[in-house]
């Protein structure tokens, strides 16, 4: 956390507006952008889930991964974007250290789930395009294994900071939290 040049006192990102980092209008722009992401991300992903649940024809194996991607996006909408919008309206992370841990966890979990869902989709497409004459057919068991794989990989990134391997800290404009990649103290270092 940067120090104030005038006093030499550290300004906690949990207690004070961080307007010395960027101008107050930048926080307003961040809040507006988060509002836009919430306004578009929630309905699209919710409708994806709703329509797939309502129509049995859409319950194909490949759509399991797409539903997992929609769920990961909803984690981002509720766990990340809403918190970032609210905190950016205040200019600092108003929810304290516990809120930072929760926001960091859900944002990391949602981001990693989305990333690994795309990896599973890319693998399925690779099998279809590069191995067209093989006997492999992406079935329900493969889709379930793919979903389980995405959750295991996402949790392996999101859980360790909650149990002491690294930590979640406010980053950037101090309105959202992420894994602490910056601190080089051995107790917080997340490298081998």
Residue 72 has a CB neighbour count (10 Å cut-off) of 24
Phi, psi of 181 (to 5 degrees): -95, -5
54 assigned to a ligand binding site: no
Residue 74 has a CB neighbour count (10 Å cut-off) of 18
CA distance 192 to 188: 11
Place of tokens 């690294």: 166
CA distance 163 to 170: 18
Collapsed DSSP state (helix, strand, coil) of residue 59:
coil
Give the residue numbers of the binding site: 191
Give the residue numbers of the binding site for Zn(2+): 191
């Amino acid at each position: 956390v940067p120090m104030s040049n005038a006093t030499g006192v550290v300004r906690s990102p949990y207690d004070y507006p961080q307007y010395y980092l960027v101008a107050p209008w930048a926080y307003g722009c961040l809040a507006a952008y988060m509002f836009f992401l919430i306004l578009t991300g929630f309905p699209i992903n919710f409708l994806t889930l709703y329509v797939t649940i309502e129509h049995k024809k859409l319950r194909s194996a490949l759509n399991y991964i797409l539903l997992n991607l929609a769920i990961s996006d909803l984690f981002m909408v509720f766990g990340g974007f809403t918190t970032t919008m609210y905190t950016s309206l205040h200019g600092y992370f108003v929810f304290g250290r516990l809120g930072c841990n929760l926001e960091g966890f859900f944002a990391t979990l949602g981001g990693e789930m989305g990333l690994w869902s795309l990896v599973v989709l890319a693998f399925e497409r690779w099998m279809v395009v590069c191995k067209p004459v093989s006997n492999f057919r992406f079935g329900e068991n493969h889709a379930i294994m793919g979903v389980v794989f995405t959750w295991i990989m996402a949790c392996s990134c999101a859980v360790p900071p909650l149990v002491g391997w690294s930590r979640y800290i406010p980053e950037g404009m101090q309105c959202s939290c992420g894994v602490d990649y910056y601190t080089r103290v051995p107790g917080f270092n997340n490298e081998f």
